[in-house]
Structure 1
């Protein structure tokens, strides 16, 4: 199904906060009793008396059970978690080493969901499911069904990690944990290092067998609670995901306030004016963002965009990128808004060897700051000043950490003025921070939370708790040789013009040679030609009001993009063109494009 054309009355360049991707022709989103009636009909077609609703941890099981009971009153509902899960004390003991005592950081778990269940009780639950029409509900419900010899209908009640985080902030617990009042960073840590890793491994065993996909993000949603939870067939889900891996698309961005947040996104992106600020926008983090799968009537089912990464890694990422990273999306685009706000924390990211040895991550968070906008006096903290006394600096940081004298960052760290379209490169191990009055497009690798704060200007978080500082981790990763001269020569506006012709200029503008992300900037008057060359491209329209992505061969329908929107062009797309739309009023356009260095077809490093 082609992407719907924008209405002529749509404002030009308006940032789209709820982008959709189309379901295949004829597919429909079902809701309420009609959805569960379709499930029962599918069971009858299979001669099955068993329905399995395997729910991602974080789904609201009581609300799902209530909806099923109202629609299918003759079916018994068995909560598999209540029937067969281990006591929470045993689960806590099992994952204790992964969680550690740290408030933020743990160690990646490689466990599978069966580790949280009693094998005997799983078998007993399976045996009891044979005597009448039964719905097995809960995370791991498919484990029970696989112990039977009966046919069954498989439903995945899926949801994105961002929705889980919002619910946890409102008091939701981790899976079967008794921690409603626990610090939200610790809740996130338990999900990030343990639950979500296990849940994604479990999901991957079911994708090819799914009969239906149910939108568990909508039922009991922390936001947008008016949307009815929808359901689509497994075939519609698989087709939509496969189609998305062959055309440009956007994930659903999410926005979050912060102690240093600013006002630029509120005004430019038309966000809720009642919020005190917005600090972050995660505009391309497929592991946590979602996709809205829309039918011809505009009804949507929200699924994690990670489902696309897990099921279509070769088409999405490209063969060489997949061979290098596996089914992980290695590029992240996000916004950091300090316009009329405060400085980011002074921080450093771990070196690759350190993150592998300490946390079990494959790669680290190299990054860069691209200045989408900047106010008067904007600046970036980057690299050490010449002749810094390491021991004195760390001593001053430890005094500041304990509430003593504030840390004098300018005494030890360079500051560089920042203006619109400047680009600052930040390989792991580099001390850095964005100052106030900046609108940063952050381009980075995707290990998420591995930021070691060194100094946070004495602030509390929005939850009233001091934001965590990790001086021991930070000191172990600071590259002290990155002084003023080295930083200026290697990290500040390293722009190389590659070619210019027919109103198009292509520049290489990062990242640093130690980093695996290649960044190209294209300025153009009317259009610029691109080719994925076999690896995923991530782009942002950094200049201009409105453009569209088109295929020179008509392989996909034109895809509209607006100023500041990040969009993904899968490796499978190949050649594509970014061009002005007929109604655009801009005279100049610019895109910033990131790809994985050394993975393009025909490229040899």
Structure 2
């Protein structure tokens, strides 16, 4: 699933994981569109029984099946082998039937949701979108084992009824960023639709229905060892293929290393300039990079260097296959197999304005209204600032009066003196602001923030006031005062903020090499943040205690992070890179490199944490 609407078409290929793979894995990688199809066709022909072979070709949303079919078709023609192709679209329910089936997931509530962003996760599966009579007839065809190759292709081709009758399953995976770009380019329609919807409606349907059911099917295939041919279909001109056992080896090897995801960049009205300068991103990419999805597991991918080829795998394919090893048993069980923390940067450095004044809902509201897994907490860690930088959190005036003024402003577009009502704290590098769900907040202009969030699913941001700004199309940006009013904690004022969520650093450990401080901790949130100040050439030793740790280099040039027990499992980490130390590494070492001291932001799950505060949602 992905809630990413407007990613920039820019590939940051600095995030490459170099791991030690056996020779047979390197040799098994097939690169090139025609070569991928030919390789699959050769396998089918060589393994025919009674002159017949059936193949299911499934994939993630936006997968383009014709690329693979072209190579299969050409090879079969040269070998005079009969090829029968069956498009699974012909076996879906009708467009109107699917609309009726999914309408509860896509309510038309313009009062609370003026531009139709929100919905409810669909609880069904790919099977529910199939016409059962047509499906039975297809299964009858597959049982006959016709002469030559029979290829069933399209989203849902590998559901259980079909794959049990096929000799092999191929799966075309696509990263969330590529899927979002293809959606923007209207290169595909929602499942069962004849034509693409308007972009925002297409992506809303994707998030709450299509991504959800395809995501479930991919997990089923990965964990039943049901993928014989794993295809990466990100690059239109350079598909890649590995067999299922090679994919298993790659992911099993990777989960023993500290690793970095590949970031995604998004533009926004308040976007700044810090990340562009640090990473030398070309000016023509965008004039305002607002969000950097550095490690939002549902939105990013992970690149592995396989013999000089950059193999770009959706990060959640990795989680679905190796989540237990990556996160540890307790975390895996508590969060239903989802990676529980997300990390991104908010860049307002040298920009024209603040982020919107906003609030996020708690678990009761999210689960009841969106059928999601839990609450939406956040945390801001200040990395760099310019003149006058502030972070807003909590009320300092009458919050209910602010909401009424915001409702009026939504109608007449008159400006509000928001600073009269919203508490602010001076932004200085190293300050951590924890933001439990229900807390009014905003990142102010002229700063660069590391933002953490709970879970990795949808983004439920209720804008209370957005300074009457317009988007690129000249429309006022949507405001959500009705939902905001339902979830705001009006009692969270300046004093509450000072005592609970903006704490002074607490020194907990020191040596001749380092000092470690708690900088973010509250009983309202299940993760904690520490700051490690490491001297030049100093070493810090940590322990995962059966779970994972995420570290960000927030100051300094370079560090090396590696397993103490198995030093070959290591990663060289640069400024602003975010690296996960998986649960497979119990004891780890962070070593300062270069010519200067470094500062490391460390995030981990608190002792005795719980995800579901409300017992009624346990084991739902």
- Do Structure 1 and Structure 2 share a fold, with TM-score over 0.5? yes
Query: Which residues in structure 2 correspond to 1:368-387 (within 5 Å)?
Result: 368-386=379-397
Quick one: distance in 1 between partners of 2:118 and 2:17?
Answer: 34
- Equivalent in the alignment of 1:5: none
Quick one: distance in 2 between partners of 1:550 and 1:245?
Answer: 13
1:592 and 2:608 equivalent? Answer: no
* Structure 1 residue runs without a partner (length 5+): 1-14, 220-226, 601-605
1:174 and 2:190 equivalent? Answer: yes
Quick one: distance in 2 between partners of 1:108 and 1:181?
Answer: 19
1:292 to 290, 303, 307: 303
> How far did residue 229 of structure 1 move?
1.0
SS of the equivalent of 1:595 reads: strand
8 A contact 1:19–1:250 mirrored in 2: yes
- Equivalent in the alignment of 2:171: 156
8 A contact 1:374–1:437 mirrored in 2: yes
Quick one: distance in 2 between partners of 1:152 and 1:555?
Answer: 42
- Equivalent in the alignment of 1:306: 316
SS of the equivalent of 1:154 reads: strand
Q: Aligned-residue CA RMSD in angstroms?
A: 2.1
- Equivalent in the alignment of 2:146: 131
> How far did residue 464 of structure 1 move?
4.1
* Structure 2 residue runs without a partner (length 5+): 1-11, 610-620
- Equivalent in the alignment of 1:538: 550
Structure 2 CA distance for partners of 1:22 and 1:42, relative to 1, 3 Å: farther
- Equivalent in the alignment of 1:114: 127
TM-score for the superposition, normalised by structure 1? 0.90
8 A contact 1:69–1:77 mirrored in 2: no
> How far did residue 441 of structure 1 move?
0.4
Quick one: distance in 1 between partners of 2:430 and 2:84?
Answer: 57
2:458 to 444, 448, 452: 448
> How far did residue 292 of structure 1 move?
2.0
- Equivalent in the alignment of 1:39: 40
1:550 and 2:562 equivalent? Answer: yes
- Equivalent in the alignment of 1:437: 446
1:579 and 2:598 equivalent? Answer: no
Could you list the runs of 4 or more consecutive aligned residues of structure 1 that deviate by over 6 angstroms after TM superposition? none
2:118 to 100, 105, 111: 105
1:402 to 390, 405, 411: 411
8 A contact 2:346–2:451 mirrored in 1: yes
> How far did residue 438 of structure 1 move?
0.8
> How far did residue 99 of structure 1 move?
1.2
Quick one: distance in 1 between partners of 2:258 and 2:232?
Answer: 23
8 A contact 2:93–2:192 mirrored in 1: no
Quick one: distance in 1 between partners of 2:164 and 2:548?
Answer: 42
1:209 to 197, 204, 226: 226
8 A contact 1:266–1:277 mirrored in 2: no
User: Which string of whole-angstrom CA distances, capped at 9 and with x for unpartnered residues, describes residues 191-223 of structure 1?
Assistant: 22111111111112211121111012222xxxx
- Equivalent in the alignment of 1:319: 329
User: Which string of whole-angstrom CA distances, capped at 9 and with x for unpartnered residues, describes residues 219-276 of structure 1?
Assistant: 2xxxxxxx51111111111111122222111111100111110111111112121121
> How far did residue 178 of structure 1 move?
5.0
- Equivalent in the alignment of 2:65: 61
SS of the equivalent of 2:270 reads: coil
- Equivalent in the alignment of 1:565: 577
Structure 2 CA distance for partners of 1:480 and 1:368, relative to 1, 3 Å: same
1:52 to 49, 56, 60: 56
1:343 and 2:354 equivalent? Answer: yes
